[in-house]
Amino acid sequence: MISNTLLLAVFFALAGIFLSNSNNSDEKRVLKGWKRQLNGPAIQYDKVAVGLNANLDLIVYGTQLLKKLNVAPGPGKDHAVLDSLAELQDAFALSHSSCSAAERIMTSPTLYKQIVDSAASLEEKKYFVGGNAALMSQAMVESSPGSQVMLVGAVGETLRSLLNSTVSVPESCLQKDDEVHLILEYSRGEKWGDNVASCANRFIFSHDVANGELQPADNFASALSSFSPQLVVVAGLHLMDNTEESFWLPRVKKVLSAISTLPASTPVHLELASIGNLDFLARLGSACFSSVQSIGLNEQELMAISKANKGPFHNEELVSGPPEAAVVADVLYWILKHYSGKLSRVHFHSLTFHVVAEVAGRWNNSFSAVGAAARVAGRRACQVEEIDPEKVQLKFPKAFVRSILDPKLRREPIVVDPNSPVSTWQRDGINFYLSPVLVCRRPLKTVGLGDAISATGLLYSHYIPK
């Protein structure tokens, strides 16, 4: 329990920080603080290889599509996969009510095509580059124009026309038709039955053969060999969570075999996405996490990993919105200690704050990486080059505890100073870097935020091999 003396100390510290200048908002001070605190990228990655999922995103308003399909609102309920319109309603309603992003697979190709056709008939719709790998490729060429970026993924004609022209795609990955993913977006305050969304977010589902079978893995080794990248990003493994281990494990081993041939100086980052099958997640982690240097994830994936492996807080249900920073830090610490091997960095991102946890001495510039990634979240959500402080909101608490499980860290909370927004601490050989996010009040785009965040964090980071 925090003592009264400590609470008073926190109160007066907060008073000094937040009341010293009534004409200068916290949001303005965070923006100035980032400019003052953050350095540029540690190095320039001349060649970056990204794989393995790429698709065409069809973005619509979720409530409009469900009404078009004559689906009535109902209570939320999770499903590992979707077999019917009723289960689609359940999963969407759960995402809508908890304001949490999720991604699921629909098993029926016939039903999925009918839904895609209905979505395409809506007046309000947009087509965008989709797939974690393709989106991270886009983000990297935009953030680092001097880098050569190669995308190893199933790229159809429409997707190729939407990709940045500087993103190279191996000839063996090009195909005529695109894989289409449906993105059901909802706005803050939007109603679905009795539910009112507390923030803007999205629910994603698909029936994707090329990515679901990880077909681009067949070309991954040869592509890496001919390209000789300095940084490799792997994404899309989550799309196999509806398959048997006898199918997905050989595909994953093919990817791991390809990256095992890379020089020791070349870091590999694994970007995770929503997985409903916890047994698949546990086995995927056992197969992959110790073979990569870095992982990127959000609160859904973070707590799912802990639940799947009986880690910290695995018996607790995830509440609406981002978890406490102390809970996040404890799970990140556990991940880096639990998975021995090459893993030395985890980048966590949520709506209100980001954390990079790293094994001490294995990465440079993580302080700036987490701040730059948090800053790009606001820029991307508001679709602006520079953040307008009037259009964003600092929602992170003014003080936070660094751990629930470590007694010393639990007793010593950190007071967030908007003038120096990035906080840092250590725990048993693990360095932590936390930055609040300036949350866009009226976000114009939520799809791909996590991919842009992780891409930015990587470009600012420098791996130090043993």
Provide the phi-psi class of 201: left if phi over 0, else alpha when psi is between -120 and 50, else beta.
beta
109: in domain = yes
171: in domain = no
- How many domains would you assign to the chain? 1
| Axis-axis angle for helices 449-460, 132-143 (nearest 10) | 50
Q: Which residues contact 142 (CB under 8 A, 6 or more apart)?
A: 164
CB contact at 8 A, 193 and 71? no
413: in domain = no
**Which residue among the candidates 26, 57, 417, 451 is catalytic per the annotation?**
451
Amino acid found at 152: V
Amino acid found at 125: K
**pLDDT of 321:** 67
42: in domain = no
**pLDDT of 320:** 57
Question: CA–CA distance from 430 to each of 268, 270, 276 (Å)?
Answer: 19, 19, 29
Look at the chain and count its residues.
Answer: 466
Q: Is 126 helix (H, G, I), strand (E, B) or coil?
A: strand
- 177 assigned to active site: no
4: in domain = no
For residue 55, the surrounding DSSP H or E stretch is strand 55-61
74: in domain = yes
Q: Residue 448: which of 316, 298, 309, 303 has the closest Cα? A: 298
**pLDDT of 315:** 87
344: in domain = no
Q: What is the CATH number of the domain that holds 122?
A: 3.30.1110.20
- Spell out the SS3 assignment of 347-363: EEECCCEEEEEEECCCE
Binning the chain into helix, strand and coil, the percentages to the nearest 5 are 40, 25, 35
* Regions of the chain where pLDDT drops below 50: 1-9, 12-22
273: in domain = no
Q: What tokens does 362 get?
A: 């294995």
Q: Is 171 helix (H, G, I), strand (E, B) or coil?
A: helix
Amino acid found at 76: G
d(CA 332, CA 272): 14
- Secondary structure (DSSP) of 63-81: HHHHHHTTPPP------SE
Q: Is 256 helix (H, G, I), strand (E, B) or coil?
A: helix
CB contact at 8 A, 217 and 52? yes
**pLDDT of 20:** 41
**pLDDT of 421:** 98
**pLDDT of 446:** 78
Q: Residue 180: which of 52, 58, 88 has the closest Cα? A: 58
Q: Which domain holds residue 63?
A: 58-128+188-204
Give 441: exposed, middle or buried? Use CB within 10 Å, 0-12, 13-18, 19+. middle
Pairing label, strands 55-61, 126-130:
antiparallel
